[in-house]
Structure formats: C-alpha cells, structure tokens
Amino acid sequence: MQRRLTKGTGASGRTRRGLGRRGDGIQVVSRQGIGPKAQLVVVDVEGTRYVLGVTEQGVSVIDRARAQAPDEVAGSDLVASFEKLLAEAATQPAPLPQSPVAEVPEAGDADAGEAESPLPLRRRDRRTTQPLPAADPLAGSILSPATWRQTAQALGLRR
C-alpha cells in the first residue's frame, strides 16, 4: 500500500515539473461543489476558459470559451450603460405612490357610541370550539387497516 502511494506521488511530481512553474498558463478561476463527490470547476488555460465537471471517476469538459481580460470587462458597453443608469437613478427623487391614501377620521368626527373602522374586524380566536380528532398516525400507510379496506373495496373483493 505504501509503495503505491509513493509511486503515485512520484508520477504526479514529475508531471508537475514537466508543466513548468506553478501558475504558468493555468489558473483555477472558480470552484463549486455540487455534491459530496462532484465539483464544477472553471479553469483559465492560456486565454481559454474551460468549465469542467470533476468527479472521483474523472474529469469531463462541459464548455469552453475565450476568457475576457479584466480590463475588457470593465470597459464593456454593458458595464458603462449600467453605471450611467445607476447614476441617473441616484439623482432623481423617488416617485410618489399613485394609490390614494385612506383618510383616518378624527376623534371628534364620529359619534362616541358609533365608531367606524376602515378595516373589517376579524375574530381573534379562529379555532373551532370542538377540538379536531387526532389523526391516525398510520393514515394512508400500507400498514393502515383503512387502506386495506379501501383497496379491497376498489378491487371488488369481499371476505
């Protein structure tokens, strides 16, 4: 067992040396776990971005595209137009609501015995006076006798 580990690390060390110094041309941009043993990895290899699916069994290429340089993203028309809209929205006052506001009557307007409420009153206690019967814990289960009775009735079986 120990020999296998040393053989594996020796081979990977040689492969790494063959690729050159760390960070030359290959950069992991993002990594996202999508399960206990699977990951989605975005890798930049010399200007090309690869989306890779990584599992215990292997690595598969899902998609590839030309990677944009950070200065390209900052100078794009989309970013500039968004920043312009954001600046315009910050300088404009917030719009007032268009719906009418309900007027609240003053205390002197309504009769003392007859106060009107703009909202309907609701009962505070919505529970029924009779408690509901406890549900059978086996209801709907294959272990429930009622389920077997319903099945026999549906099939037209009689004892």
* Whether the predicted pLDDT of 47 surpasses 80: yes
| pLDDT for 85 | 78
Per the structure block, which two tokens stand in for 157?
A: 């079986």
Nearest to 45, CA basis, from 28, 70, 69: 28
Nearest to 101, CA basis, from 117, 115, 118: 118
Rounded to an integer, the average pLDDT of 78-91 is 77
| Dist. CA 130–CA 117, nearest whole Å | 31
* Residue ranges per structural domain of the chain: 2-71
| pLDDT for 86 | 77
Look over the chain and give the mean of its residue pLDDT values, rounded to a whole number.
70
| Dist. CA 41–CA 54, nearest whole Å | 7
| pLDDT for 90 | 73
| Dist. CA 13–CA 17, nearest whole Å | 6
Span of 41-45, 56-60, 69-73, 93-97 with lowest mean pLDDT: 69-73
| 103-157 pLDDT, tens digit each | 665 655 555 445 565 666 666 666 555 555 567 777 777 788 888 888 888 887 7
Torsion of CA 146, 150, 155, 159, to 10 degrees: 50
Q: What is the DSSP letter of 43?
A: E
| Residue that has been written with the tokens 């009557």 in this structure | 105
| pLDDT for 2 | 40
